[in-house]
Amino acid sequence: MEKSNTLKESLGTFLRNSFDLMVINWMFFLCSIPVITMGPAMCAMMFVMLKLSRGEPVSAAKDFLRSFRANFKSGLVLGLLAAVLLVACGDCYFALQQTDTTRSLFLVVGILMGALFLMVLSYAFPLQAMFENPLKIQLLNTVKLAFVAPGKTV
């Protein structure tokens, strides 16, 4: 009798979490349709996911929208910084089209710039979702985290 109650509770928790994940993903998709708002949407998604992973009570849509509004400015800046990754990819693509000596220069610059921004931004969105720091301090913390343990970051 006790096993069946535990099974029902765990099945209920699984189904609730699955539904919350679907809601979060749809909210992220809808808020990312104007590409410029992808940064705040990513911060909001991270915020709700962190609450879910801690087992805290979650109202997926309300928490998402609340976090989206709260992190809009800083998330927008982080999203624009993520656009630097696109520039790095374009730089690498441009380098692969070249045949002279500039090929290696553009390729090295593109790879280094892309790797640096990818390392930093992998910490930026979760930190922005967890803490309420000014953006300058938040970016400084992400750089510190990225280079304290580069093996784990990679």
Q: Which amino acid, residue 18? A: S
Mean pLDDT within 78-106: 82
Distance CA 41, CA 48 (A): 11
Q: pLDDT tier at 40 (50, 70, 90 boundaries)? A: very high
Q: What is the pLDDT of residue 2?
A: 58
The answer to whether residue 122 scores a pLDDT higher than 90 is no
Nearest to 79 by CA among 116, 128, 115, 132: 128
Token pair belonging to 31: 């808020």
Q: What is the pTM (predicted TM-score) of this model? A: 0.77
Judged by DSSP in three states, 135 sits in: helix
pLDDT at residue 94 is higher than 90: no
What pLDDT is attached to residue 4? 64
Instruction: For residues 52 and 14, give the distance between their C-alpha atoms in angstroms, rounded to a whole number.
Output: 11
Residue 135: per-residue pLDDT: 83
